[in-house]
Amino acid sequence: MDYSQTGTRRPAGAPTSTGGIRRSNRKNEDCEGAWSPVSTRKRHWTQSGVFGLFRVAALINGFALLFIVGFLLLNGWKAINWTFLSQAPMDSMTRGGILPCIIGTVLLSFGAMVVAFPWGVASAIYLHEYAKPGPALRVIRLGINNLAGVPSVVFGLFGLAFFVTWCKLGVSVLSGALTLGALVLPVIIGTAEEALRSVPATYREASLALGATKWQTIYRVVLPAAFPGMLTGSILGISRAAGETAAIMFTAAVFFTPHLPSSLFDPVMALPYHIYVLATAGTQIEATRPLQYGTSLVLIGLVLGMNLIAIFYRARLQRQA
């Protein structure tokens, strides 16, 4: 007598079941096929090909950026001097500088962040920490994502109709900052919510276990951990706000003004709109060509400088954390 696979005794001479052995052999054959040298080599080449495409895409983007910056440097570096950076435009914008444009761009960019950053962070906190999952939340997030893709000229027309006309703010720094704030708000909400999502749940659980309320947990534990990531949204927001033309040409920017703004209700010149004016609406477009390239270089440098300040501050917060 011997035992079958079920552990019961069977009479001697009864046929032995080999189904389990056959199944085992088939599994071994499948494993050998899955880990055969041919299959491994195929996966290796597939992975190498995908990584190669990523490298090519990164190189193309890098070379495109270097080409643009190099082209602007080659054509615009001669226009940049102290007079160019410290004076207002003169003689139909063929001489002088761009100081009012620089001041206007800085005011509009930081004004937009003052408007958008608190609202964006508050919205992200509600969506991630308080809102209950469901169709309503999905609709809100879908609306935010779609709002991020709306063309800037639509925001400009909205700012013209609402802030300039209906709120009677006029063409001013305040109208432009509010319009740009609405423009960058979806970006800040998205990055702030991702930063909150990256905070481990154990942080919240430990704080609540120690007796803290939900708001105390968010304010003293979650926000400090997520704040460096939220600054990423502010960096993207500043970059987009500083380079927008359509959103401010109806709400804040003017063709020419020799004076710096003395209040939030004054109109301003701005670097992107000034480039547009020099390239399309000036009386001597060819004569102002070096000034166009020089203004573009200053705009790139200004955006880079504001981004570096935000990046250094974010790195400092990360070290302190």
- Residues sharing a CB contact under 8 Å with residue 194, sequence separation 6 or more, in sequence order: 229
Report how far Cα 56 is from the mean position of its chain's Cα atoms: 23
Q: Cα(60)–Cα(25) distance, rounded to whole angstroms?
A: 50
- Give the pLDDT score at 59: 93
214 backbone dihedrals φ, ψ, rounded to 5°: -65, -45
Quickly state the pLDDT bin for 101 (edges 50, 70, 90).
Answer: very high
- pLDDT, mean of residues 255-279: 89
What pLDDT shows up at residue 12? 53
pLDDT at 13: 54
Pairing of strands 2-3, 9-10: antiparallel
Under the banding of pLDDT at 50, 70 and 90, the label for residue 36 is low
E strands present in 19-110: 89-90, 95-96
Mean pLDDT is lowest, of 59-63, 172-176, 229-233, 294-298, for 229-233
In the chain, the percentage of residues whose pLDDT exceeds 90 is 47
Length of the chain: 321
Cβ-Cβ contacts under 8 Å for 199 (sequence gap 6 or more):
222, 225, 226
- In whole angstroms, give the CA distance from residue 198 to residue 188: 15
Separation CA 190–CA 197 (nearest Å): 11
Quickly state the pLDDT bin for 237 (edges 50, 70, 90).
Answer: confident
Q: d(Cα 32, Cα 146) in Å, to the nearest integer?
A: 49
* pLDDT value of residue 155: 94
Residue 4 has pLDDT above 80, yes or no: no
Report pTM: 0.80
Is the confidence at residue 27, as pLDDT, over 80? no
| Phi-psi map region of 170: left, alpha, beta (phi>0 left; psi -120 to 50 alpha) | left
Residue 292: CB atoms within 10 A of its CB come to: 22
Domain borders along the chain are 82-320
Cβ-Cβ contacts under 8 Å for 292 (sequence gap 6 or more): 76, 275, 278, 279
Q: In this predicted model, which residue has the larger pLDDT, 32 or 295? A: 295
Calculate what percentage of the chain has a pLDDT beyond 70: 87
Topology (CATH level 3) of domain 82-320: MetI-like fold (1.10.3720)
Question: How far are the Cα atoms of 82, 144, 147, 193, 218 from residue 127, in angstroms, in the given order?
Answer: 48, 11, 16, 8, 13
